[in-house]
């Protein structure tokens, strides 16, 4: 499962939902978007953690469309990371996540994508770019 948070949300705000999915056997990748739509996010750069606050952009639809593009790219990057043997960058900057624990156990051809509010819009945009006649019939 790849999860996309809503405006002014974070991956941590949806921990109960993501944990409930994980308790049923799903691997959940909760993406924390770095396009200014998260309430707060941390980015690890050159060994240092940089913090980015929410950017208020109500009514600016040009910026929202740009955010959708960024968020869709982040969902696709998360899927590529899950299917890779390389350690992804900026995953839980304060944690000890190790992708090698999942080697050979993740089927990226069968993915569930969910999101709340603006995250739902992100998921629809991401799946629209990948939709085929077979997947929508």
pLDDT tens digits, 16-33: 999 999 999 998 999 988
At 130 the pLDDT is: 61
At 91 the pLDDT is: 63
Give the alpha-carbon dihedral of 67, 73, 79, 81, to 10 degrees. -110
* pLDDT exceeds 80 at position 35: yes
* pLDDT exceeds 50 at position 136: no
How confident is the model over 24-44, as a mean pLDDT?
85
Q: Regarding predicted confidence, which is higher, 37 or 131?
A: 37
How confident is the model over 107-117, as a mean pLDDT?
90
* pLDDT exceeds 60 at position 13: yes
Residue 116, exposed/middle/buried by CB under 10 A (0-12, 13-18, 19+)? Answer: middle
Confirm whether pTM is higher than 0.75.
Answer: yes
φ/ψ (deg, to 5) at 80: -60, -40
How confident is the model over 39-53, as a mean pLDDT?
73
How confident is the model over 85-93, as a mean pLDDT?
66
């Amino acid at each position: 499962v790849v999860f996309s948070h809503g405006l002014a949300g974070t991956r941590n705000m949806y921990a109960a939902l993501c944990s409930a999915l994980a308790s049923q056997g799903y691997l959940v990748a909760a993406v924390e978007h770095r396009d200014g739509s998260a309430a707060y996010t941390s980015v690890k750069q050159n060994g240092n953690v940089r913090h980015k606050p929410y950017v208020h952009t109500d009514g600016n639809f040009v910026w929202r469309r740009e955010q959708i593009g960024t968020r869709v790219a982040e969902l696709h990057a998360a899927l590529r990371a899950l299917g890779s043997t390389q350690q992804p960058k900026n995953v839980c900057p304060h944690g000890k996540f190790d992708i090698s624990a999942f080697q050979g156990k993740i089927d990226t051809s069968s993915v569930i994508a969910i999101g709340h509010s603006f995250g739902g819009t992100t998921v629809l945009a991401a799946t629209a770019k990948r939709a085929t006649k077979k997947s929508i019939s």
